[in-house]
Structure 1
């Protein structure tokens, strides 16, 4: 069963518009305020306060790197590109900034509400995917740490099975997860400069 789109409550949300003074800004502001959003427009760059905004609309025609208080593609909110020129370079730049939706200029009397919904959905999906990937990378790193710890313990004259059993015992003794115990074994080995003097870990 397909998951239904959750319509966010836009009343009271904050939208910032990064665009030079223009009729586009006036038309966009009218629609946003009619929907219930608070707005502010800025040029040539967004202030640090933009980090607390719920949405950001930005001009692609005259936009450039360094206008945002975050790195390209790392906006903490949905980004909506205001597109006048459809030159490939401009579209590529907008995508590099992390555009979640777009509005073609000149902005008329509609289109903003759907752009907000699409941007929110795309942003949340992208963030969920990023969290999932980060979780998978963390799990992989933890497994690699366990393998490394077992290898280090086995170098003390144990079989891999015996080394893994010792790692479990260490985790129990230290009241840690096996991943945490493995990280401690590996860190201790690094601190000792890789020295193997056959001492048993406590």
Structure 2
């Protein structure tokens, strides 16, 4: 919990205890010391917008923002932190469980999306290698681009490897590698 409001803290503490969660409390004016939390409940009203250390709370840990002040600058600052969920102040005993479920789900989706994007970016980066391999096969076997790519695709399927891996081997070997065994 990164909170300062003495009226809100007991409500959050009680609800989190009921859910069996261990609570670690931090002063919003101090930079974070411990990044081993599963979720951060951040009172967005208690941290100055211009605070340099406020960005340190942003990371892979899902943030549940507690919002009381709805000014455009405060909301813009809060959106820059990319909270996974939020609660509107004044807090009540209801809503925290829902905010936790939404925050954990949102955090999981962000991780999956980041992994998917990284995989796609890797494939985009490897397109140069595939193109170079297709050119080598075209020159070496006097094939059209379509036929050269089909040969690479068929060979990669036969050897149970990706087109990108086979293409890297083609570029490194200066032609189609001599594979006598299949790999898994």
2: distance between equivalents of 1:157 and 1:46?
Answer: 61
How much does 1:40 deviate? 0.8
Superposition map of 1:110-149 within 5 A: 110-149=94-133
**Cα distance per residue 1:14-46 (max 9 Å; x no partner):** xxx123363323321222112211101112222
Normalising by structure 1, report the TM-score.
Answer: 0.64
- Aligned residue pairs, count: 170
User: Is 1:29 equivalent to 2:16 in the alignment?
Assistant: no
Distance verdict in 2 for CA 1:170–1:85, change over 3 Å: same
> Is residue 45–residue 68 contact of structure 1 (8 Å, CA) maintained in 2?
no
Higher-helix-fraction structure: 2
Q: Secondary structure at the match of 1:38?
A: coil
Q: Secondary structure at the match of 2:54?
A: coil
2:182 alignment partner in structure 1: none
Q: Secondary structure at the match of 1:146?
A: helix
**Cα distance per residue 1:70-117 (max 9 Å; x no partner):** 7x4xx3232100112111221122222121111122323332112111
Superposition map of 1:25-64 within 5 A: 25-43=9-27, 44-47=30-33, 49-50=34-35, 52-61=36-45, 62-63=47-48, 64=51
2:180 alignment partner in structure 1: none
2: distance between equivalents of 1:114 and 1:175?
Answer: 45
**Cα distance per residue 1:1-21 (max 9 Å; x no partner):** xxxxxxxxxxxxxxxx12336
> Is residue 145–residue 179 contact of structure 1 (8 Å, CA) maintained in 2?
yes
User: Is 1:89 equivalent to 2:89 in the alignment?
Assistant: no
Task: Give the aligned CA root-mean-square deviation in angstroms.
Answer: 3.4
Any stretches of 5+ residues in structure 1 without a counterpart?
A: 1-16, 190-198
